[in-house]
Structure 1
Amino acid sequence: MKTKILLLFSFICILACKSPEPRKPVVKNSGSFIRESVNRNKKLIEKEENQILSIIEKDTAQTYHASSNGFWYTYHKKNNQDTLQAHFGDEVIFEYNISTLDGTPIYTTKEIGTRSYVIDKENVFNGLRQGLKLMKEGETATFLFPSYNAFGYYGDNNRIGTNVPIKTTITLKDIKPQHIN
């Protein structure tokens, strides 16, 4: 009997020394939500870019440039004398308006007023930030921004709704370079 108990005790000890096995997940994630979201966003971007390209095609009086940041712009007043453009930390003084792509005003220049902005150190929408970096003092340009370069999914929680592409005309009045001591 003692041998049977000893044998049983040895057997239990051997089983108890087995390393634990990881549990398998109860729910498997197929990734379909992510794929559907990516496809929706691709379709949205394509639709907005087609709208913008249609506007550009119809506006034969202006020459539009495609930026590497995913928006288009045209100059109304160009400064060919200066070479100074705004960079990180420079302060710029400017005026701008915001409208829908068809030109319906959302915010007028009078409502917004003259703005001061320190490049890449303050919070403005991405398209405005990148557009100001392309401009020289005294220039006026119109930018066509897809929603992902404007106010995106959330809008501005006021007059600009979800995924609204916008048109904005900016006049860069002054660039005050950052002084590094």
Structure 2
Amino acid sequence: MKKPGEETLIRVNKNLVKNEEQKIRDFIKRYDWTMEKTESGLFYLIYDTGHGKPVGKNRAVTIRYSVSLLNGDTVYASRKTGPLTFLPGKGEVPKGLDEGILKLKEGDRAKFIIPSHLAYGLVGDAQEIPAKATLVYDVLVIKVK
């Protein structure tokens, strides 16, 4: 049995997701990108194919990246912070990046559009990423261990 107000909350959340997806689709159309969408809601485009080792869980991956908002503002970039190394599937990065990176191999370049529920959610990161922000990642896989 649902608690009072639970159905309203579910309806509001579904509308938020639907509205965010429409903004993402409008963004993709503006740039004329052909992107795939995963079941979770991640959009991705592999635009340059490498020939190295595939990324896998428990295999450290190093990427060069930029992260921007749908308005074009860059919020983080490896040219300032240096490459990022992490273990996919360990929760070290936003869920959408974890999911997307597992589709790549060494040398691949890709764009990920990560809806807020797969990024930093309702609160942002308390630094550069605002609440409920959709993120656009541009990544290059430089090393898979």
TM-score (norm 1): 0.73
> Which residue in the other structure is 1:4 paired with?
none
Bigger fraction of residues in helix = 1
After TM superposition, the runs of 4+ consecutive aligned structure 1 residues lying more than 4 A away are: none
Bigger CA drift: 146-155 or 121-130? Answer: 121-130
The correspondence for 2:15, drawn from 32, 38, 43, is 43
Alpha-carbon distance in structure 2 between the residues aligned to 1:40 and 1:65: 26
CA contact (8 A) 1:96 1:112 kept: no
1:140/1:65 CA distance change after superposition, 3 Å: same
Bigger fraction of residues in strand = 2
Aligned-residue offset at 1:40: 1.4
Task: Note the 1:1-181 alignment, pairs <5 A.
Answer: 31-60=3-32, 62-79=33-50, 81-82=51-52, 84-176=53-145
**Structure 2, unpaired ranges of 5+:** none
CA contact (8 A) 1:69 1:130 kept: no
CA contact (8 A) 2:24 2:113 kept: yes
| Percent of matched pairs sharing the same residue | 24
CA contact (8 A) 1:66 1:73 kept: yes
**Structure 1, unpaired ranges of 5+:** 1-28, 177-181
The Cα RMSD (Å) is 1.8
If asked which structure has higher relative contact order (CA below 8 Å, sep 6+), I would say 2
